[in-house]
A and B are shown apart, each in its own frame.
Chain A
Amino acid sequence: MAVVDGVHKMRSVDTYRTVRAVMQGIWLGWKVESNWTNPFVFLTYLIAKPIASVILVGLVFVIGSSASGISDSSREDLFFYTFTGAVFFIYPATITISLAYLVHEDRAKYEALKHIYITPSSLKPYIVGRGIASAINASVSVVVSLLVGSIIFSNYFALHLPIHASRVDYLALIASIPLGVAAFISLGMILYAINLVTFKLQYSLSEYTTGILFLLSGVVFPSSMLPYPVSLIGEALPTTHFLNVVRASLMGYNAYGSMAYLLLSTILMIVIALIFMKRVESIARIKGTIDRKAEY
């Protein structure tokens, strides 16, 4: 009985420590990403880049749709698809890029990685915390981009988003965010793990990954349009289902079918990330890369 109590106590201490480590990851992520400049410059940085990306995608749509001569009603539906895809893609892009780059920052710039690694909570809760901090930043970017983009395209290009506040399925929309974030943090953890044992992909890995995700996940066109079997890969990605749930919930359609796929793909992604991370940590300890500085 005493042994069982001891095990329970140990587990609760572990849980307590893990929660605190996640909280610290969020706190540090916020501090690191927001404290490098004054609040005005930070806010500008936080919203300027995503707005520019969203407007760029919108403008490409405007030019493309004008040339093809599609009807106004189809044009608005297609615009909705493209615009919401570009806006909500900010989540996976921000989270995966920040986590992939985190290794380089902590290992070389702050020399803190090995000291985080040898704490009892080690890397995973910290990575999750940093991912959540990025998701919070991404949320600001998403909301602002959605508002600013819809105003610009509505006023200057007569493109109205068919979103009606009364029809939005808020429950599905709100539920999709943590599910999507969990999947993107898991993906970010995989990139983090790769960068933990490599040195030459620090900058490029996340760029390649977000580029591939953008292409395969139904951001600006449905993944079903991709040639088989590439379309299958797109259908398996949580980003695809995340965007499907978001779109359906904004339009007031039934989003729960896509939600089930999102849930499944997120669980799968978490499992893959945890297994991958564990394996890579072991490789990093064999190769001695946890505290090794860049080799170039």
Chain B
Amino acid sequence: MYAVETVDLSRVFELKGKSILALDDVNIRISKGEILGLLGANGAGKTTLVKILSTLLLPSKGSAYIHGYDVVKYAKDVRRMINLVSGGETPGYGMLTVRENLWFFSQLYGLSSSLARERIDMLIKAMELEQYKDVRMHRLSTGYKQRLNLARGFINDPKVLFLDEPTLGLDVVNAKHMRKYMRDWVDSDRARTILLTTHYLAEAEEVCDKIAIIYKGRIVAYETPSALKASLNNGVSIKVEILSNDHTPTTTSSSSDNRSRMVEKISRSSGVLACMLEPLGNGENGYDDDMGKHEKSSHSNGRYDSNSNNDDSSSSSSNGLTRLRIMLDDDSKIPDLVSTLVLNGYKVLSVKKDQPTLEDVYMRYVGMKDNGMG
């Protein structure tokens, strides 16, 4: 029996007379003791899936099970086994203290007084909230409210925990602490399971046993991180730095439009699987490439978003300098690509082959779809 299983799960929303397919025949199976990372852009269907599994929403078609219990027919049984943390939210009552808020939720789960006290103490310590345990919630900073939110998620020691972008809004240190906590939590009892939705590829790579990429409501890839990267064996990932020959001053929006057109044009070139703008590194825009992919949540490049191809103007171009990350089906296509860039008025400063990353995997599966190739 799987901890979480969905069978042809679909969900349609009716909005102003229009039908929007949020989930389309989703099939996932998460074993006990596993952390599954669900990657996808905004609106891909991640939260919809979590809502169905956590009994907040009914599916339009298909079925979903938590430890064998149907989330529609046996919602009450499912609720005994689950909890949910949504990042960016701070649920709780401002006039209650940290301890009182946790107490309130512990009682809704029917914990005995002694067990509730013990678990609250443990979570307050784990989330480093000791100093604030008797402080009213409305006096806490956003970061501490987030920690309280996370503590609430663990209060009933759920068998299946849904973490919907849990590190959203957390600083680097807190996010790292949180990731370690969730990994340790699962590893300490292999009956526990986490479904983690995230925009942060590095976060998924760091803590997840398996990764599912969801795109427009469909699961387009579902494997272990290493297997996903290995699936790119036939592909080549390159970083290209180019300089626009036309240095006439342009407005931010027209410059962004030009780059979008360029990305679109490259994406349509022969042998190109995907193309996206890369953030510029230190000394150019003030933050580091690798860090920017996961920890710098406040920066647009810290979040993986399919739209980032088009509107990441501030982070990917400076004084005409643009960095691209391109997936090719074969490295023999590199000279053709360089020719295309030169013919389109760009000066190619460097071309560098790179090791495949999870980002490339994402690009390949989602980028291909965006290019109409999937």
Contact = CB atoms under 8 A, between A and B. Distances in A.
Interface of A: 13, 16-17, 20-21, 23-24, 27-28, 31-32, 35-36, 110-112, 114-122, 126, 282, 285-286, 288, 290-291
B26 interface: no
A120 B80 contact: yes
Contacts of A120: 76, 79-80, 108-110
B57 A31 contact: no
Contacts of B109: 17, 119-121
Nearest to A117: B56
Contacts of A118: 54-56, 79, 82-84
Interface string B87-114: 0011111111000100011011110000
Contacts of A27: 104
Given A24-B108, A285-B55, A285-B56, A31 B95 contact: yes
Contact of B93 (A28, A121, A126, A285): A28
B58 interface: yes
Interface in B135-176: 152, 156
Interface in B251-282: none
A121 B110 CA distance: 8
A216 B95 CA distance: 38
7 contacts: A16-B110, A111-B89, A115-B105, A115-B152, A119-B108, A121-B109, A285-B57
A280 to B, nearest CB: 13
B139 to A, nearest CB: 13
A242 B44 CA distance: 54
Name B's interface SS.
Answer: loop
Interface string B332-352: 000000000000000000000
Interface residue range, chain B: 20 to 34
A15 to B, nearest CB: 10
B2 interface: no
A116 to B, nearest CB: 6
Contacts of B181: none
A110 B80 contact: no
Contacts of A112: 91-93
A253 B109 CA distance: 46
Contacts of B108: 17, 20-21, 24, 116, 119-121, 126
Most buried by B among A24, A110, A119: A119
Nearest to A20: B107
Contacts of B51: 288, 291
B105 A119 contact: yes
Contacts of A115: 84, 91, 105, 152
A18 B156 CA distance: 16
Given A32-B95, A120-B79, A290 B56 contact: yes
A137 to B, nearest CB: 16
A286 B12 CA distance: 10
Contact of A110 (B57, B79, B94): B94
Interface string B101-130: 000110111100000000000000000000
Contact of B104 (A13, A28, A111, A282): A28
